[in-house]
Structure 1
Amino acid sequence: MTPSVFLLSLAGILLAASIISFIPAVYMRRRDSQLRAQCTSRAQGRVSGYSTSKQVTGSTFLPVVAYRVDGAEYTVTGPTFASYRARTLSGDCAHGHPLTNITDIHDLPEDLCVYEIADDPHAAGNAMREPFPVGTGVDVHYDPAKPSRSYVIRVPATSSFAKVFLFLGVIELVASAIFAFISLLW
């Protein structure tokens, strides 16, 4: 195999990898965009509990919100965040520290940070209970054509997961173009 054929093959493999990387990123952005566009109606929901399947970090679970539309009751898990991370606090700064970086439920951060205490890893428990106690009223945006399609408070900006796939796709596409160009010069 000649070097130019090898480089051209490598360019083809990287091009295919970039396409594969772009697919989830485009899907996630499109899904979020469609959700924003379709969910044009609003209802007042109430936190009814916490999810058991959408665990965020450690033992922190997202709120489950119940809402009614035309007499029918629906539930949605949320709010969601672009990314989730956990930080462990120790020493004097840990005592009295809030369990999350949420300061106002009507002005949510894009990225959720959950704080755990080093000398008592169970102290955080479900950190979302503090900003979203059971019974808290929150806005639910829903699709009037399909009320079960909904989100709590807001759809966050593009998730970190989608950004990673987009970044990988761009890197692979650029590398593919470089290898293809070099193979033509070889």
Structure 2
Amino acid sequence: MTVGTVLLLTGIFIIIIGAITTALMVWFGFKRPKYRKEHFTARTTGTVERMSNFYSNDIRVPLVSYTVEGQTYKVAGPRFAGSTIVTFNVGHSQLLTGSSNITTEGELPTVVKMRGSKDAAQSAMTARYPVGKTVDVFYDPDAPKHAFVERDAPMSKTVAALLTAVGGALTATGVVMAAIGILILTH
């Protein structure tokens, strides 16, 4: 295989990866939150059945059942947009005790902040959502199976913009590589 062919094929591959990355970030970072805000306008109450097998940013979230027009649905949530964990180890000892910003009452954070380990945050989640607790569920009245618990947790606009820029940079790099490959092959 010639250098021109390798550059062309590599450029095409990088263009595809960059375009997919850009499209996903535009959807999850900008379009999806807007869509959900405009369409998830109906509200009902649901009941916590148990902790689900779904993890949102390393925290296991409850499984909630809710009923709309006689049909029962289930959703795992609430979800988190991100998490941070601060640990400080000296030797084999952890100096920070476990804690988190998840409380049993009040507003639920969009980003989980943990000190020590995720165990304290998981314990707080379990305490906040005991089996049988009633919680708010917001859903799309045209598609009631699409829902979220308590509040939506979209990706940070800053993170979405940065990752979109990375996708754009990948695409541009791929275009340059493919163009150089074409130039080499045609000369």
Q: Which bin holds the TM-score, normalised by the shorter protein? A: 0.5 to 0.7
Q: Which protein is richer in helix relative to its size? A: 2
The count of corresponding residues between Structure 1 and Structure 2 is 176
Structure 1 residues 129-148: aligned runs within 5 Å: 129-148=126-145
4+ residue runs of structure 1 moved beyond 6 angstroms?
3-10, 121-124, 177-183
The CA deviation string for residues 56-111 of structure 1, in whole angstroms up to 9 with x for no partner, is: 466x41111222223333221111111234444734x51xx53x322476533222
The TM-score with structure 2 as length reference comes to 0.66
Is contact 2:102–2:121 with CA below 8 Å preserved after alignment? no
Which residue of structure 2 aligns with residue 171 of structure 1? Answer: 169
Is contact 1:24–1:165 with CA below 8 Å preserved after alignment? no
Question: Where does structure 1 lack aligned partners over 5 or more consecutive residues?
Answer: none
The TM-score with structure 1 as length reference comes to 0.67
- Identity value in percent: 27
**1:158 equivalent among 146, 155, 158:** 155
Question: Where does structure 2 lack aligned partners over 5 or more consecutive residues?
Answer: 89-93, 182-187
Give the RMSD, CA atoms, in angstroms. 3.9
Distance 2:104 2:179 in 1: 52
Structure 1 residues 73-152: aligned runs within 5 Å: 73-88=72-87, 90-91=94-95, 93-94=96-97, 97-98=98-99, 100-103=100-103, 106-116=106-116, 126-152=123-149
Which residue of structure 2 aligns with residue 66 of structure 1? Answer: 65
